[in-house]
Amino acid sequence: MNDLANADQRSDFTPKEKIALRVAERLTRDQHSLDDALFAELRQEYDEAAVVELIAAIGLFNYFNLFNNALKMEPTK
């Protein structure tokens, strides 16, 4: 079970990493889906500046994926 889909069950991720992955997946699937409960969990692990930085990074990488997909760019090795 080395996949990110099961990150919550893995012991090699810290609680801080697990919530970051949950937030990244949620925002990637639906940008309007960060509900109060998940945001509260996020704030238990990260301060305000870190929350902003994390969400900015998630948004930036989602932008890169959207841009690359629109141009049909393949990842390089």
- Show me where the domains of the chain are located: 10-70
The whole-model pTM stands at 0.83
Q: Which residue has the higher pLDDT, 38 or 77?
A: 38
| Residue (of 59, 64, 61, 20) closest to 43 by Cα position | 20
Decide: 66 and 60 in contact? Cβ < 8 Å: no
pLDDT tens for residues 3-60? 777 888 888 899 999 999 999 999 999 989 999 999 999 999 999 999 999 999 999 9
CB atoms within 10 A of CB 41: 15
